[in-house]
Amino acid sequence: MHDLERYLNVRSAYGASIGPAGTLAFLMDTTGTPQIWTLDEPAGWPEQRTFYDERVTFCSFSPERRELAFGMDEGGDEFTQLFRLDLDSGEVDPLTDTPDAIHYWGGWSHDGDRIAFAANRRDESVFDVYVQGRDERGEAAELVHEGDGWLALAGWSPDDDGLLVTEHTSSFDKDLYVLHLDSGDLEHVTPHDGDVRYNSPSWGPDGEAIYCCTDRDSDTLRLERLDLDSGAFAVVEDGGAWNVDGIALDDETGRLAFSRNVDGYTEITVGELTGTTEYDTRPAPDLPDGTAGGVSFGPDGEVFALSASSRTNNTNVHRVAFESGETEQWTRASTAGIPRSTFREPELVHYETFDGREIPAYFTLPAEDVRASAGVPVIVDIHGGPESQRRPSFSGLTQYFLSRGYAVFEPNVRGSTGYGKAYTHLDDVEKRMDSVQDIRAAVEWLTDQSAVDPDRIVAKGGSYGGFMVLAALTEYPDLWAAGVDSVGIANFVTFLENTGAWRQEHREAEYGSLDDDGEFLEAISPLNHADRITAPLFVLHGANDPRVPVGEAEQIVEEVRSQGVPVEKLIFEDEGHGISKLENKIEAYTTVVHFLDRHV
């Protein structure tokens, strides 16, 4: 048996970008925070390229030079700044220096001379679009569009005369625009009624079309082509019962890779456009049976890189030959000396809930030799979002709990993505607590499992999942041996009042508005029912959380403590919406484990 620190030292490599000469750049957390590393051959000794204590959030190779753009925030505040790294000199030049603004990377121009980004410098509640020379900095950026919403960018048109702009009204209602840089005109290319997603938008060859994953006219996301001249959509690939949830398209060759999310597992299709919607397929990459994404095409589309993970494979970067599908794992992120054979696979189960629906969930039992004879304790691990989905990717913490004899149960309750549009709306506003009933139904299912000890069930969750923990402990207090709330919402009213200004309307679209639903939101907020909590509670948070302000943690801790219920709090001054630094993860989860050892 290995200790927790070993499991937290299992590394990840992801976020790949292939440079003009084929060098692979990627993020890896070997030093305790994600930094940039490069490789020029598979399974070689990678070269570390950045050396910060803070996390690097992305890296993107210039299409023409041996230089990379990358992002980094401070203390988890998500106010990402942009930088340029010269691979030959090792020099890093700041591209932006507005520390109280968020900068979303928008890509290199095809000649590598300019960059684009969206930022809320002018007004923190909205995003503008900027273009900047690769060797310029800060105020030299040209403000090319003043936005009035939550904007991001999806790349330069093939002729570099336009930018693809996305607007996020809610997680299920987005819009696409083409910003014409010569005129400054913003062309709305997805006028629509109701909620429609236009995800993963990519320029098609010649800039005549946009390819994206959309649920326009469909319960699931389909790969479609939007003709920019006629405005007509055409289906390229229908995912059937499952979402086509991502596409990467090399706009110079028409080579593409798209993914289907099949009950949480990724299926990759590779092909080359032979028409507007027709494509010839190529062999699919050979990857672990889990999740994959982050496709980056290399020069001329001859190869592409992507990251892949499964419950028994930590996340690594693979490079795929486009024509043959030959797949090589290029990175060797460490498993900290823990044999992969000891990692446990989940069983995908479906359990009935209060209204007869079947809720999908991953259920993982510990190895026989560590199972308590009287029944195993269970961690009900609830994902965040709620517009999100727990999928079969690697988690060192989960494997640690399994090695300690816990079972782990990971439900995708109503409101989760990945199961069609209708399913994601089953928890909207006034239906919020139906999803908490799905958690009660999960415990009822677990109680029927002979291997489980029903008196040792823990509710654990992060972000929105933290809300679900607090809601489960208040609504069904007798079900739980303990609760672990990480960066969770305790009161929807104070959360919506204090979350980042740029995201308030977006989150009201999911939860309800302060103006119209304030009374309802107070009624369902766990803080207002903290007197019902009887299970010991552990609360984790980051002081710089821009999404769920740390006040949410302070409130619930104070209230539960006033009730005389055991509650522990751990707040990190250099973290935000989650724990990203290894040293903090070790402290946080060692403390959580000791808390569970005492109470479960």
Binding site for ligand L6A2BGLM (CB under 6 A): 171, 384-385, 387, 463-464, 489, 507, 547-548
Least distance in angstroms from the C-beta of 489 to ligand L6A2BGLM = 6
Residue where the block lists tokens 């000469």 = 21
DSSP secondary structure code for residue 216 in this structure: T
Nearest to 223 by CA among 231, 208, 212, 207: 212
Looking at the Cβ atoms of 18 and 509, the one nearer to ligand L6A2BGLM is: 509
Report which residue's Cβ sits closest to ligand L6A2BGLM.
384
Looking at the Cβ atoms of 547 and 581, the one nearer to ligand L6A2BGLM is: 547
Least distance in angstroms from the C-beta of 381 to ligand L6A2BGLM = 13
Reported in sequence order, the residue ranges of 440-507 that DSSP labels E, i.e. its strands, are 452-462, 482-486
Looking at the Cβ atoms of 71 and 500, the one nearer to ligand L6A2BGLM is: 500
Looking at the Cβ atoms of 171 and 314, the one nearer to ligand L6A2BGLM is: 171
List the structure tokens of 303.
């190869």
Looking at the Cβ atoms of 147 and 415, the one nearer to ligand L6A2BGLM is: 415
Least distance in angstroms from the C-beta of 215 to ligand L6A2BGLM = 16
Looking at the Cβ atoms of 209 and 496, the one nearer to ligand L6A2BGLM is: 496
Least distance in angstroms from the C-beta of 168 to ligand L6A2BGLM = 8
Query: ∠ CA 444-591-51 to the nearest 5 degrees?
Result: 115
DSSP secondary structure code for residue 346 in this structure: P
Which residues, including other chains, have CB under 8 Å from residue 169's CB and lie 6 or more apart? 149, 150, 175, 505, 506, 509
Looking at the Cβ atoms of 412 and 463, the one nearer to ligand L6A2BGLM is: 463
Which residues, including other chains, have CB under 8 Å from residue 585's CB and lie 6 or more apart? 8, 579
Least distance in angstroms from the C-beta of 492 to ligand L6A2BGLM = 9
Can you tell me the distance from the alpha carbon of 526 to that of 546, in angstroms, rounded to the nearest whole number? 21
Can you tell me the distance from the alpha carbon of 380 to that of 471, in angstroms, rounded to the nearest whole number? 13
**Residues 24, 43 contacting (CB under 8 angstroms):** no
Least distance in angstroms from the C-beta of 264 to ligand L6A2BGLM = 17
Can you tell me the distance from the alpha carbon of 529 to that of 474, in angstroms, rounded to the nearest whole number? 6
Residue where the block lists tokens 């069930």 = 457
Least distance in angstroms from the C-beta of 561 to ligand L6A2BGLM = 23
Instruction: Walk across the sheet containing 92-94 and list its strands.
Output: 56-61, 67-72, 81-86, 92-94
Looking at the Cβ atoms of 427 and 568, the one nearer to ligand L6A2BGLM is: 427
In order of 232, 463, 471, 591, the CA distances from 489 in angstroms are: 42, 7, 10, 21
* Pairing of β 452-462 and β 376-382: parallel
**Residues 111, 134 contacting (CB under 8 angstroms):** no
Q: Which residues pair with 153 in a beta bridge?
A: 165
Least distance in angstroms from the C-beta of 558 to ligand L6A2BGLM = 20
Nearest to 471 by CA among 426, 413, 425, 416: 413
Identity of the residue numbered 336: A
Looking at the Cβ atoms of 66 and 503, the one nearer to ligand L6A2BGLM is: 503
Least distance in angstroms from the C-beta of 91 to ligand L6A2BGLM = 35
Nearest to 314 by CA among 342, 295, 283: 342
Least distance in angstroms from the C-beta of 415 to ligand L6A2BGLM = 11
Looking at the Cβ atoms of 199 and 313, the one nearer to ligand L6A2BGLM is: 199
